Amino acid sequence: MRCGKLNCCSSSFRGGALTLVTYPPAIKRSFSGSLVLSLLRVVSLTSSMETVYVRHVELLGFEKRFYPSQHYVYMLLIKWSDLSEKLIYRKYPEIYTFHKSLKEMFPIEAGHIDAKDRVIPSLPATKWFDNQKTTETRQGTLAEYCRDLIALPPKISHCQLLREFFQVRPEDENPPAPHPYKRNETYVMTKDRARDNKTEITGPIILETYRVIADYKQSSKFELSLDVGTLVDIVEKSSNGWWFCQCDARRGWVAASYLEPLESPEEAEEAEPNYEGELYVTTKGYKAVEDDELTLVAGETIEVIHKLLDGWWVVRKGEETGHYPSMFLLKTGEKREAANEMNISRRKTPPPRRNTIRNVQSIHAKGRKKISQDAYRRNSRRYVQQSRGRPAKGRPGVATQSPLLERSSNSENITPKSEVPKPRTEPKKDFPMIPPRPSPELILERCTEDTCKKVSIRKARDVRPETT
């Protein structure tokens, strides 16, 4: 920095402020302009490296707490410039107090001098009494306020007041003690409503509680490390086997195979096998490690016959069946969302399977039911064989089969443009398309005892002679 004709002063960065330092005349002459400029560059780089600012604020929902008295706190996910993510809890009066302090610090941008210069977003004032309804309806406005706040110029969005407000407090990491007999209620706002500018929100969602069956060590900063026996709340169940969980004030991804429901070992949401199959395409190859897995390459078309919540689906390729990671599958005709692509990029490998976990400690006497691979293969072959000669529902005379076999058979019927289509030949009369109706005795054999009793009573009434 030059002052007059000589280099009479320099600058230093102390305590977050730029300070001018005046040097004696003897030292002035020893400084050159290039040296001072170099010092200034170092000071500016050091100050920018040390300042960590908020780059994104996401409203996740709110919590209803009962200790020491009933109140509501909003859950905010703060993403910092150093790529760290923190979960904080703030009451609405705290947020409004911060809003007023920010307007006092920047009166021009708040519109106090000229309303046309206002860039700081508006925020409704607090009410005398906050109930659950007002807390819910306020979420849309608060989510929009947080987005607009971070989008302000750096002198506002990077200021010290804003950074201190969104910093993690001790009560965020160690929430207050729960109520003796009332549990905190968590209400999550869906992502679609969070993007919308309307104040309408969906109904409350009570989070499910699961238990950790073995020690889990995180393999990335997006995951959680948990000890066996820890209770976690499930925020999101992803189909790839990675679940987003909340444990006290910590949030992150955990493999679903390490979690079990409290009520029973069975997953209530897990669907039954569908041997008809759904067509999927492999987006990434996988080499089988266990005996009940399949080795496939990218671009293969397969059929999914059982979607399991641990992220390892049972697929069928020809007559073979086996487990395959669902994160490497894409349904035919669909495009993978950008959010799913981001999750996959964060986790390069599929989640571990339940049979590979050591020292499993479950609270249930009986383990979860598991269908063997032989049963999958046997039932799959039986279904395919039966579907080849079975008429479709509502379309007599048309046989159904698995989608993959149907696609291969239909491809043979597609003729090139250059060829003349051949006339259709009538089906042979020796092979009827509709099977004969089974005899009444065979039908009764497959009926329940109650139905058989009713049929026998009706027959007895019909045979009984008329009385005069």
In degrees, to the nearest 5, what angle opens at C-alpha 186 toward C-alphas 183 and 188? Answer: 170
Structure tokens at 467: 């009385």
Q: Is the CATH number 2.30.30.40 carried by domain 208-261?
A: yes
For the ranges 18-27, 143-152, 382-391, the lowest mean pLDDT is seen at: 18-27
Cα 142 to Cα 149: distance, rounded to the nearest angstrom: 10
Higher pLDDT, 271 or 84: 84
Mean pLDDT value across residues 317-326:
89
Name which of 197-206, 261-270, 311-320 the model is least confident about.
Answer: 197-206
Cα gap 300→308, rounded to integer Å: 20
- Residues 105-129 as b or e (16 or more Cβ within 10 Å = b): ebeebbbeeeeeebebeebeebeee
* CA–centroid distance for 202 within its chain: 17
> What are the tokens at 242?
């990675």
Give the Cα-Cα-Cα angle 42, 46, 51 (nearest 5 degrees). 155
116-137: pLDDT as tens digits = 999 999 999 887 677 888 888 8
Please state whether 376 falls in left (phi above 0), alpha (psi between -120 and 50) or beta: alpha
pTM more than 0.75: no
What long-range pairs does 150-157 form, CB within 8 A, spacing at least 24? Answer: 150/54, 150/55, 150/56, 150/57, 152/109, 152/119, 152/120, 153/119, 154/53, 156/102, 156/106, 156/109, 156/119, 156/120, 157/53, 157/54
Confidence check: pLDDT of 358 > 70: yes
- Extract the tokens encoding 152: 């302000």
| Residues 15-62: tens digit of each pLDDT | 444 444 454 555 444 445 555 555 555 554 444 456 899 999 999 999
211-220 pLDDT per residue, tens: 999 999 988 8
Looking at 140-190, which runs of residues are DSSP E strands?
185-188
In whole angstroms, give the CA distance from residue 468 to residue 216: 84
Q: What are phi and psi of 108, to 5 degrees?
A: -70, -50
Query: Mean pLDDT in the chain?
Result: 76
pLDDT value at 192 more than 90: no
> Which pLDDT score is estimated for 406?
58
Residue 11 binned pLDDT confidence (cut-offs 50, 70, 90): very low
Beta strands (DSSP E) in 6-92 are 9-14, 17-22, 54-65, 71-80, 85-90
Q: What is the residue whose two structure tokens read 């109706």?
A: 437
* CB atoms near residue 465 (< 10 Å): 5
For position 175, what pLDDT does the model report?
72
272-353+374-391+399-405 placed in CATH 2.40.30.60: no
What does the pLDDT look like over 284-312, one tens digit per residue? Answer: 999 988 888 999 999 999 999 998 888 89
pLDDT for res 275: 83
Q: What is the mean pLDDT of residues 94-105?
A: 94
The pLDDT of residue 10: 45
Where exactly are the structural domains of the chain? 9-50, 54-195, 208-261, 272-353+374-391+399-405
54-195 shares its CATH topology with 272-353+374-391+399-405: no
Superfamily of domain covering 54-195: Phox-like domain (3.30.1520.10)
Quote the pLDDT of residue 13: 43
> What pLDDT does residue 45 have?
47
Predicted pLDDT at 81: 92
pLDDT band at 346 (very low <50, low <70, confident <90, very high): low
